[in-house]
Amino acid sequence: MSVSTAVLSNVVRNSLFKLHNRSLAPTLLNANHSSQSSVDPESVKHLEKMASVWWNELGSMKPLHSMNSLRVPFIRDGLFSAGAANHNRKNTAKPLDGLRIVDVGCGGGLLSEPLARLGATVTGIDASLELIDVAKQHAESDLSLRGRLQYIHTLAETLAIEDEEKYDAVVSSEVIEHVQNKTYFIEQCVKLLKPKGSIFLTTVSRTTQSWLAGIIGAEDVLKIVPQGTHQWELFISPPELQAMLEQYGCITKLVHGMFYNPLTNEWRWSCSSSLSYAIHAVKTS
């Protein structure tokens, strides 16, 4: 056995040991019946550790920076296909002008800013005050965002009370895989949508491939993201997520597999959703 093979085997054994010791707790079933909160405090604390490098395109957040090459057009085009965006503005600099979007779990604002630059009025919310401060400070450097972008330290369930059915779109990218109570989270996100509004999510599927690539490869071997960022048992498959969305009155329009190349730091669409995927659904009424 070569040295590299031995090291990889050891990493896999250690990861299996850690996964076993967690006893798959909480399981997906138990997670969906936990206390009524859309936020996992431990995940928030872990993500706050990366606050200082959030906008460093060469740091641990670089996969999220480069993901904008897929997720921003995905949201823009989805809003046109759903009939929310004005087709007369499709080829303009601000094709999403007049639309209200809420970015749930916005973090430091990596997705909120480009959506605002496309003309939408964007509200970014996050459970972390530290990350909201990072987002606000970065946005201050771009005068074109004034009046189009605001950040609020709040939860989806709190905003849903204040702003129920006020948004043309809800965006939540790379968030639900950190959420314990996924059903409740989806319910609150849908409450924010106007009838016929769109919800866009990107996340990681719960498969053997995602465990090997997303945790063993990305966290334990390549160190692309800090260890402990993801928990495989909290990943969710497309059919599971579609069922949750349907439970709260949303019909899935599109599911697109996504693939990340860590060597080139590039994302591309894939016919397979066994790793990462994007989903667009529309609220029926």
Between 41 and 75, whose confidence is greater?
Answer: 75
pLDDT of 199 over the 60 cut: yes
Q: Any binding-site annotation on 228?
A: no
A 10 A CB-CB count for 83 gives 11
**DSSP-H helix ranges across the chain:** 3-21, 28-31, 41-48, 62-81, 112-117, 129-139, 156-162, 182-191, 208-210, 238-247
- Asked, as a colleague might, if the bond just before 26 is cis with ω within 30 of 0, I would say yes
Q: Any binding-site annotation on 173?
A: yes
What's the pLDDT at 167? Answer: 98
pLDDT of 257 over the 80 cut: yes
- Which among 147, 148, 141 is positioned nearest to 118, based on CA atoms? 148
What's the pLDDT at 256? Answer: 97
Q: Any binding-site annotation on 163?
A: no
What's the pLDDT at 230? Answer: 79
Q: Any binding-site annotation on 76?
A: no
Between 215 and 254, whose confidence is greater?
Answer: 254
Q: Any binding-site annotation on 33?
A: no
What's the pLDDT at 9? Answer: 43
pLDDT of 18 over the 80 cut: no
Angle formed at CA 262 by CA 127 and CA 42, multiple of 5 degrees: 25
Pairing, β 276-283 against β 193-204:
antiparallel
Q: Any binding-site annotation on 126?
A: yes
Mean pLDDT of the chain: 88
What's the pLDDT at 75? Answer: 98
Q: Any binding-site annotation on 240?
A: no
pLDDT digits (tens, 9 = 90+) for 127-177: 999 999 999 999 999 999 999 999 999 999 999 999 999 999 999 999 999
Q: Which residues contact 76 (CB under 8 A, 6 or more apart)?
A: 85, 95, 96, 118
